[in-house]
């Protein structure tokens, strides 16, 4: 039986990914993890102190699987592809056909805290750059390395009576409703608690 992580539902992860080599590219990755459908979505930024400086942005979509190599040792394999972000106006018709500018294979510990990654990206010149055995570490940006968007986090916020915290979680959950209908019931309960807290003030 696979020993899967205790984190379930929908949560955010933020990573810094790089190698020890001086002047090597650095990848910053922010992903939404949906453990129900085993998919990841988010954005990445690759920077490098070269001339001219590298600053590549990519919209990332992929999936993950749990791998057990021996009893009680589970890792997570994340495979994702990125495309250049495009701001396309509503009703603007069919958008441009884009080629991928980023590919990722990442092996993480079962707690989503770190691991190793191999990735490639396409420079503006069209040259593909491949990075092997990069170190993945949790980033403290944007509210911490892992932030659960529903389930225990919503229940804890509702129980705490912290109105600002409840509103923050509700706003984050609403952003992801279009991708995951599983959080609707938890969000409804959280909104009800917000209403009760506001009336009590």
CA nearest 190: which of 26, 168, 176?
Answer: 168
CA distances from residue 1 to 9, 12, 36, 75, 92 in whole angstroms, order as listed: 20, 26, 18, 14, 49
The residue among 44, 76, 35 whose CA lies nearest residue 180 is: 35
Q: Spell out the SS3 assignment of 137-163.
A: EECCCCCCCEEECCCHHHHHHHHHCCH
3-state DSSP assignment of residue 175: helix
Condensed to tens digits (0 to 9), the pLDDT of residues 99-125 reads 999 999 999 998 898 999 999 999 988
Residue 62 pLDDT = 96
Indicate whether 76 pLDDT > 80: yes
17, two tokens: 């990914």
Answer whether 157's CB lies under 8 Å from 190's CB.
yes
**pTM of the predicted structure, to 2 decimals:** 0.66
Confidence of residue 140 (pLDDT cuts 50, 70, 90): low
What is the distance between the alpha carbons of residues 60 and 100, in angstroms, rounded to a whole number?
10
Range in 39-43, 70-74, 152-156 the model is least confident about: 152-156
Comparing C-alpha atoms, which of 43, 14, 16, 18 is closest to residue 131?
18
d(CA 182, CA 178) in angstroms, rounded, equals: 10
Model confidence pLDDT, tens digit, residues 161-195: 778 877 877 777 766 555 455 455 566 666 777 77
Percent of the chain topping pLDDT 70: 78
């Amino acid at each position: 039986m696979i020993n899967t992580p205790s984190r379930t539902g929908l949560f955010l992860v933020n990573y810094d990914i790089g190698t020890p080599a001086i002047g090597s590219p650095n990848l910053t990755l922010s992903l939404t993890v949906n453990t129900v459908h085993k998919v990841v979505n988010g954005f990445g930024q690759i920077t490098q102190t070269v001339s001219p400086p590298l600053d590549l942005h990519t919209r990332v979509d992929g999936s993950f699987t749990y791998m057990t190599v021996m009893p009680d040792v589970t890792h997570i394999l994340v495979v994702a592809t990125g495309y250049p972000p495009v701001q396309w106006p509503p009703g603007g018709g069919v958008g441009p056909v884009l080629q991928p500018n980023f590919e990722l294979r990442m092996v993480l510990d079962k707690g989503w805290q770190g691991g190793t990654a191999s990735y490639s990206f396409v420079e503006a010149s069209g040259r593909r750059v491949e990075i092997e055995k990069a170190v993945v570490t949790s980033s403290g940006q944007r509210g911490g390395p892992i932030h659960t968007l529903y389930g225990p986090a919503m229940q804890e916020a509702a129980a705490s009576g912290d109105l600002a915290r409840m509103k923050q979680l509700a706003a984050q959950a609403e952003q992801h409703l279009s991708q995951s209908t599983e959080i609707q019931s938890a969000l409804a309960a959280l909104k009800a608690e917000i209403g009760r807290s506001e009336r009590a003030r």
